[in-house]
């Protein structure tokens, strides 16, 4: 089995996220990090590999992003991925969700994975949709919010198939249990596991693991379908949330008057 994990470089959690009004794109000038949700996807891949119920030939981390995104790939390999692929091309800069998903799918097609894993969301865009877009382009089934994943024994696989997964996905009313044939695209919820910390040795060795940097044309991306100008969604503006009015403080003087003030306040707002 070959597993590809989609990983993304995002602004560090401590950095205030803002859009550069001159370009309409996210300001990515500050400190950046591997999207924390993606560490759960890498951990899920490693648990399948180390679990031994199916042989996993390799775990490949895949990203699309500017030169700096290579650091997210180094982090991914320090967490266990065997190698990484970086789609980096000015043609894809400014792509919206649909264009990003298309370009990632083309990059994945070249790898022919049996399983594609993603995080549930990115910490910056928070669209929660890339998994579905990628699956549609690859013609693979897709599941979201998966919090448990077991590879089914090979006897139950259809002839010629690459296996199946029995998944539990988190829903508002409880859990769905879903059987899914591979190849498939799965985005994992952050409740699926506790990601490991990379060892010092793994961090030091990360830059030595194979990294394949590819352009849009290398993976067959049609330049007319990617980039800001070719994206259906255009950023037109952002407003900060309205400032909250100061709250009213009713001092507790342990008197009937305090209670009356609170009741009057609630009554005025029809909360009683
Ligand atoms: C008008 C517009 C312009 C934009 N311009 C830019 C831009 O110039 N530069 C830019 O970086 N973004 C840009 N974006 C945002 C970009 O399209 C989104 O980041 C991207 O579509 C993914 O959405 P998301 O990050 O919310 O993914 P989600 O669906 O929330 O992420 C789920 C998972 O998908 C995977 N994933 C998401 N993105 C990537 C990626 N790039 N590589 C690998 N895996 C990934 C990760 O596993 C992640 O956990 C723009 C968006 C819009 C709407």
pLDDT in tens, the chain (272 residues): 999 999 999 999 888 888 888 887 888 888 999 999 999 999 999 999 999 889 999 999 999 999 999 999 999 999 999 999 999 999 999 999 999 999 999 999 999 999 999 999 999 888 999 999 999 999 999 999 999 999 986 665 555 567 899 999 999 999 999 999 999 999 999 999 999 999 999 999 999 999 999 999 999 999 999 999 999 998 888 888 888 888 888 887 777 888 888 899 899 989 98
Q: Domain containing 19 — which CATH number?
A: 3.40.50.620
86 falls within a domain: yes
Omega of the bond leading into 183 within 30 degrees of 0 (cis): yes
235 falls within a domain: no
Please answer whether residues 134 and 6 qualify as being in contact, where contact means their C-beta atoms are separated by less than 8 angstroms: yes
Q: Which of 125, 236, 237 to mutate to test the pocket of ligand 1 (most atoms within 8 A of CB)?
A: 125
* Residue whose CA lies nearest to ligand 1 atom number 11: 65
Which domain range does residue 121 map to?
2-225
pTM: 0.88
Please answer whether residues 134 and 145 qualify as being in contact, where contact means their C-beta atoms are separated by less than 8 angstroms: no
pLDDT of residue 256: 84
What's the 248 CA to ligand 1 centre distance in angstroms? Answer: 41
Please answer whether residues 103 and 228 qualify as being in contact, where contact means their C-beta atoms are separated by less than 8 angstroms: no
Q: Which residues line ligand 1 (CB under 6 A)?
A: 6-8, 25, 35, 37-38, 41, 63-65, 93-97, 100, 104, 118-119, 121-122, 124-130, 231, 233-235
254 falls within a domain: no
199 falls within a domain: yes
CA dihedral (140, 141, 142, 146) in degrees, to 10, reads -130
174 falls within a domain: yes
What's the 56 CA to ligand 1 centre distance in angstroms? Answer: 28
272 falls within a domain: no
Please count the structural domains in the chain: 1
156 falls within a domain: yes
What's the 100 CA to ligand 1 centre distance in angstroms? Answer: 6
Q: Please give the Cα distance from 70 to 76 (Å, whole number).
A: 10
pLDDT of residue 224: 97
240 falls within a domain: no
Please give the C-alpha separations between residue 233 and each of 72, 92, 271, in angstroms, as whole numbers. Answer: 26, 14, 41
Supply φ then ψ for residue 81, to 5 degrees. Answer: -60, 150
Supply φ then ψ for residue 231, to 5 degrees. Answer: -95, 140
Largest CA distance in the chain: 79
């Amino acid at each position: 089995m070959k597993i590809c994990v989609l990983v993304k470089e995002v602004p560090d959690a401590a950095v205030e996220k803002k859009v550069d009004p001159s370009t309409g794109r996210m300001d990515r000038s500050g400190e950046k990090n591997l999207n924390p949700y993606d560490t759960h996807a890498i951990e899920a891949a490693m648990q399948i590999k180390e679990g031994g119920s199916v042989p996993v030939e390799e775990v490949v981390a895949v990203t699309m992003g500017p030169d700096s995104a290579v650091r997210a790939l180094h982090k991914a390999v320090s967490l266990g991925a065997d190698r990484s692929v970086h789609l980096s091309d000015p043609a894809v800069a400014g792509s919206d969700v649909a264009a990003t998903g298309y370009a990632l799918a083309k990059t994945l097609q070249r790898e022919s994975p049996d399983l594609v894993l993603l995080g549930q969301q990115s910490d910056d865009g928070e669209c929660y949709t890339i998994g579905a877009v990628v699956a549609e382009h690859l013609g693979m089934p897709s599941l979201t919010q998966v919090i448990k994943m077991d590879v089914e024994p090979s006897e139950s696989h259809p002839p010629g198939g690459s296996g199946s997964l029995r998944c539990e996905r988190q829903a508002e009313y409880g859990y769905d249990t879903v059987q899914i044939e591979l190849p498939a695209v799965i985005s994992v919820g952050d409740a699926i596991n506790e990601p490991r910390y990379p060892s010092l040795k793994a961090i030091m060795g990360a830059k030595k693991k194979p990294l394949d940097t590819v352009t849009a044309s290398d993976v067959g991306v049609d330049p007319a379908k990617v980039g800001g100008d070719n994206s259906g969604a255009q950023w037109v503006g952002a407003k900060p949330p309205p400032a909250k009015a100061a709250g009213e403080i009713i001092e507790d003087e342990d008197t009937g008057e305090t209670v009356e003030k609170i009741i009057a306040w609630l009554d005025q707002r029809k909360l009683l």
